[in-house]
Chain A
């Protein structure tokens, strides 16, 4: 059954590529969109780093390479995926070689050279400071969590998997963070003010128990200077005050 399905998929992919060769732009965009995770994975594994944003050089190069692969692909060249991977990898390699010569990201061996030293300082200082401050904030967050005996690994294990449960948790956290009284009680008791929450928010104790760690960490984030994370929260369903 699976074999047949694969065959089916392959054929449709071939057909789509044919369409694109014939000039179907819409199809081209569709395929690129679908394969973004694949492009990101290939680039990231090649350079053994995580891509920082869609604006990064590596990302653009990856996309261009994939596009190139679409144009150049012929069934005689084996599977499309395999071919695309090759093209992406080689374009990235080219880019890396080029960037070694001119770029601001200097390898450690080059750092020892005096002339580069100045450039490196100048270009990365801002990033460095931002990063440093963020690190500091996260360090504070961890310390706050330590007082509740919660670790980041705990969160990986215990944070709610379902979007709805998360949303609910965020909502509760926001409510606590907005109330001085509840916040104070949380910090003092080192535990959720369950009874108040149950009565005021009409949530069950069970929910509070299950999402306990998640809620606490969210309150701590909201109470911190971690702008990026606070942004995450507000963009996530349930994190907005006027939300659900």
Chain B
């Protein structure tokens, strides 16, 4: 069957023709077609749209986009993409470097994650399997060695987020860490801020690429008048946060810190001087004298310690009445025995 017809319209894949018998057909598009030209064609040239084939490429593009997005987004909403299976809680440690520990029900580290470049320097894959307090103390040591922690920059933010609350609770984690600090303690006068966080914030924190600790600080700051962006907090050292009062501390506590710091400075100056003198008068000063001199500060020290303890007790009661979960803690000086070393 041979058809003769006139081309009425040309589309992307087909052309419309009207035949000399006044039939209207769609035919397969070939080269050299022009509207108004007469052609002869056969049955095989008739155009058939494939079944189920979407002709509309825009629709196809949209469908494809939705498919890709849903796969990508699916991952995001699933928390298990962010934390390992065995993780029961997350403890983040921020100084300037930020790191995160995932711990299991026995408070042992299952995963260590550096959240920024500086964080990488403080961690070790050996930490996996350690008790969390032990791991944290190593972090602190490394922090001191790398000068992230100094006498003036001694604020550390420790944040705890419980994921499986049937298996563990925040208080017990924090206690372990605190006890660990005291035990392992070559951390002198660390200014540790404990903060709690919740699971939901974890997602947001991850998305923003910031530690949960800093994220919680950000949330707190939002409530207050301080308008700080997440980006700013990201880049801030914890010490800055304390200094700029982003991290809320009770005034009494603040004073205490200042006093403590001053004492610290005085002491370290003293010790330095003594060292210098002893170096000058090398042979002349007997060991006794040196020791005596050193004993003095120790004795004074101990007196102060007793006094501070008393004060602290009162404060603790007040602390418990505080809102959210922001605590401050002082680390007492462990004797100048360490100074000798």
Contacts and interface: CB of A to CB of B under 8 A. Distances in A.
A228 B20 CA distance: 9
A212 interface: no
Given A44-B30, A44-B45, A53 B40 contact: yes
A186 interface: no
Contact of A138 (B1, B20, B35): B35
A135 B37 CA distance: 9
Contacts of A161: 23
A135 B34 CA distance: 8
B285 interface: no
A134 B20 CA distance: 16
A156 B26 contact: yes
Contacts of A77: none
A48 interface: yes
Given A152-B24, A166-B23, A232-B22, A51 B39 contact: yes
Contacts of A131: 34, 36-37
B35 A239 contact: no
A44 B3 CA distance: 13
A37 B1 contact: yes
Given A36-B2, A40-B40, A166-B23, A49 B31 contact: yes
A166 B21 contact: yes
B339 to A, nearest CB: 90
B44 interface: yes
A155 interface: yes
Interface string B221-249: 00000000000000000000000000000
A67 interface: no
A85 to B, nearest CB: 13
Contact of A40 (B23, B32, B33, B42): B42
A9 to B, nearest CB: 19
Q: How large is the interface on B (under 10, 10 to 19, 20 to 34, 35 or more residues)?
A: 20 to 34
B20 A232 contact: yes
A31 to B, nearest CB: 16
Contacts of A155: 16, 18, 24
B127 to A, nearest CB: 69
Contact of A44 (B1, B25, B41): B41
Nearest to A105: B32
B36 A40 contact: no
A147 interface: no
B35 A166 contact: no
Contacts of B18: 155, 229, 232
- The interface size bin for chain A is 35 or more
B9 interface: yes
A212 B28 CA distance: 27
A48 B34 CA distance: 14
B43 interface: yes
A50 B45 contact: yes
B24 A41 contact: no
B329 interface: no
B42 A52 contact: no
A62 to B, nearest CB: 12
A52 B38 CA distance: 6
A138 B10 CA distance: 12
B30 A37 contact: no
Given A37-B2, A40-B2, A152-B9, A50 B40 contact: yes
B235 to A, nearest CB: 60
Interface of B: 1-2, 6, 8-9, 16, 18-27, 30-45
9 contacts: A37-B43, A40-B2, A44-B41, A44-B42, A50-B33, A152-B9, A163-B21, A231-B20, A232-B19
Closest 4 CB pairs of A and B: A134-B36, A50-B39, A155-B24, A152-B16
